[in-house]
Amino acid sequence: MLRLAYSFFRRDAAIAFSYRFAFFAQFTGNILLLGLLYYVGQMIGPQALPSLDRYGGNFLAFALVGVALTDTVMVSLISFGQQVREAQTTGTLEATLMSPVPLWVILIFSSLWNYFLSAFRFVLYLVVGALMYGLHLGQAHMGSVLIIFALTVLCFMGAGMAWAAIVLVIKRGEALMTLIVTAVLVLSGVIFPPSVLPGWLRSLGALIPLTDALDGMRIALLQGASPAELAGPIGRLTVFSIVFLLLGVIGFDQAVRIGRRNGSLTQY
């Protein structure tokens, strides 16, 4: 399996490097986004949002962690469906389906490169934030950071696979995904704390795992909280991960069966 994982990684890396301009341009965009957040933070000022006290009171640090982790979440949510759709439209899906490897494994492996890039961007955001905008990460609890990061990836990996199952069946789901992503970004508090939302929206936001992931990651990175102190978010993320992964694997398997039955697997 390791060899297969490496093959997918190497394939996607080779394809990505063959588009050199696009590859390097994406990082420039990421760094410019940090500049944008920095100046918004300057405008708001340190005391503008008391609800940020829980995270150290610094808007840039708050938003930067939000953007960095959301990048990984977006890869999980979108990448699987995108891979399926690309394989359908480029014609590689049929050849891929001839593999004796379970399809959900292929699906995960086909996003390894995207995960690698996302993890790289996560670190890049933090490093550039520290070097250029004075972000302090000295107190971060790395154990907690890794646990939250891994659970976030697993949880949204499941959600992404469920999404890929939907893409297999309905083919074009971009509009629906845009709607879902926007709602998730607003409710979970990527660049503003959920506490500023009206009560009923806050309740809705609490049902989204990204809310716990962001809260846990911010406290771990900016306040140095230990895993024990983050038992709540970690516990809820674990439950979300199990449910979503099961839902994703079973849903994708069912979608493939439906596609095989009605002959729509390679249609797009």
| Residues near other proteins, by CB under 8 A | 3-4, 6-8, 10-11, 14-15, 18-19, 90-92, 94-102, 106, 257, 260-263, 265-266
CB 135 within 8 A of CB 60: yes
Q: Which is nearer to other proteins, 53 or 86 (CB)?
A: 86
Q: Which is nearer to other proteins, 1 or 131 (CB)?
A: 1
End-to-end CA distance of the chain: 29
CB 205 within 8 A of CB 188: yes
Written as one letter, the residue type at 254 is: Q
CB 140 within 8 A of CB 220: yes
Minimum distance of other proteins from residue 168's CB (angstroms): 14
CB 91 within 8 A of CB 243: no
Minimum distance of other proteins from residue 113's CB (angstroms): 13
Minimum distance of other proteins from residue 78's CB (angstroms): 20
Minimum distance of other proteins from residue 12's CB (angstroms): 9
Residue among 159, 71, 151 nearest 118 (CA): 71
Residue among 23, 122, 35 nearest 72 (CA): 122
CB 128 within 8 A of CB 37: no
Minimum distance of other proteins from residue 92's CB (angstroms): 5
Task: Name the percent of the chain in helix, strand, coil, to the closest 5.
Answer: 80, 0, 20
Written as one letter, the residue type at 122 is: F
CB 51 within 8 A of CB 202: no
Q: Which is nearer to other proteins, 10 or 136 (CB)?
A: 10
Minimum distance of other proteins from residue 199's CB (angstroms): 46
- Cβ neighbors of 147 (< 8 A, separation 6 or more) are 227, 230, 234
Measure the CA–CA gap between 59 and 176, rounded to whole angstroms.
Answer: 31
Q: Which is nearer to other proteins, 9 or 115 (CB)?
A: 9
Minimum distance of other proteins from residue 263's CB (angstroms): 6
Minimum distance of other proteins from residue 104's CB (angstroms): 12
Residue listed under structure tokens 């929206």 = 201
Measure the CA–CA gap between 257 and 265, rounded to whole angstroms.
Answer: 9
Q: Which is nearer to other proteins, 32 or 98 (CB)?
A: 98
